[in-house]
Amino acid sequence: MARTLEFGLDTFGDVTTNPDGTLKTDAETIRDIVTQAELADAVGIDAFGLGEHHRHEFAVSSPEIVLAAIAARTRRIRVGTAVTVLSSDDPVRVYERFATLDAVSAGRAEVTLGPGSFTESFPLFGYDLKDYEALFEEKLDLFGELLREEPVSWEGRTRAALTDADVFPKTEGGIRTWVGVGGSPDSVVRTARHGFGLMLAIIGGSPAQFRPFVDLFHRAAPAHGFDRLPVGVHSPGHVADTDEQAWNELYPPLAANRDAIGAERGWPPYSRLQFQRDVGPSGAIYAGSPETVARKIADTVHRLDLDRFDLKFAHGTLAHGELMRSIELYGTRVVPRVRELLAEEAAGAGVG
């Protein structure tokens, strides 16, 4: 544990509810997100990430604009995405937007790139889903070239070629880049080939099952000329004062959200029994009291040898006040307790 372990918070900008149960507007939700990020900064969280979506449940379709507002109202927290759908965007524009965000945030910008687990952006921006893999592969390659911040000559089949193209603005220290991966070995190796950080999206099953992907990533990095590259986990969760309170607050909006999306994808209805498995010691949801969540995160960090843990803290219509309390507890009690548990574990290992 000599490396610096970072803790982040992620949100997709779920549209939440007013105290009377009515839905907030997208605009109100976005303003609430800025307030949530301010609190995350105040309680010492290392990073705040926004997902890009183009559907009615989520208010954030242009993360960089919201992140710029957050950067102007925070002091130290990293501002990034979870994820940017590179496949349906243009790598040059993505680089330019994040280089600009890096300037206004004084070097705090980072980007997590992904092909997108939601596909609404593809027809919206004129892309064919049959090119899903090719689009991400080629655009990730071009983005890697652009990060060198030198004139680029590049040719592929998914966008126009570039010849000695220079892009601006230049950054003061580069753009920290991750790739969001759901568990495909090919995606893991591809991430290592580019020298980017690996962000594992673990939203189901046991986190321990992802250890082979971490090992594969660490084997692949030196083969492509890189030393140890960072590994992070993005997983859902919610913190409240007690386990029962956290579970009772989280289950209804989480189940409604999953069932709505599941109806489109052919998933079975989400049950309370499945939820209790997911919040249990071997599940992928980190929900409960600060002690419960801290112990579960510490176990995952240890098992996967992580450099970063990001808690996806917003779920469906879970109210802004409950989200704010979760952020406060995560920063003031969960994160310090995780560090304490890992330090105790390291000291015990040293004695042994």
- pLDDT 10s digits, 173-194: 999 999 999 989 999 999 999 9
pLDDT of residue 1: 33
- Nearest-angstrom CA–CA distance, 82 and 114: 9
Residue 273, CA atoms < 13 Å, CB-side half-sphere: 2
- pLDDT 10s digits, 322-344: 999 999 999 999 999 999 999 99
Q: Sorting pLDDT into bands at 50, 70 and 90, what band is 3?
A: low
| 283 pLDDT higher than 90 | yes
Which residues are 85's β-sheet partners?
114
Instruction: Find how far residue 32's CA is from the centre of its chain.
Output: 19
- Nearest-angstrom CA–CA distance, 180 and 82: 8
| 348 pLDDT higher than 90 | no
- Residue 283 DSSP code: S
Q: Sorting pLDDT into bands at 50, 70 and 90, what band is 349?
A: confident
Is 89 a member of any domain? Answer: yes
- Residue 87 DSSP code: G
Q: CATH number of the domain that 284 lies in?
A: 3.20.20.30
Is 1 a member of any domain? Answer: no
Contact 54, 62 (CB under 8 A): no
Nearest CA to 325 out of 315, 341, 307, 313 is that of 313
| 352 pLDDT higher than 70 | no
Q: Which of 3-7, 147-151, 321-325 has the lowest mean pLDDT?
A: 3-7
Q: Which domain holds residue 86?
A: 6-351
Which pTM was predicted? 0.97
Number of domains, the chain = 1
Which residues are 238's β-sheet partners?
287
pLDDT-above-70 percentage for the chain: 99
| 236 pLDDT higher than 80 | yes
Torsion of Cα atoms, 41 then 315 then 321 then 286, to 10°: -70
| 2 pLDDT higher than 70 | no
| 351 pLDDT higher than 70 | no
- The widest CA-to-CA distance across the chain, in whole angstroms, is 60
What is the average pLDDT across 219-244?
Answer: 97
| 141 pLDDT higher than 80 | yes
- The mean pLDDT value of the chain amounts to 96
Torsion of Cα atoms, 265 then 269 then 274 then 275, to 10°: 90
Is 53 a member of any domain? Answer: yes
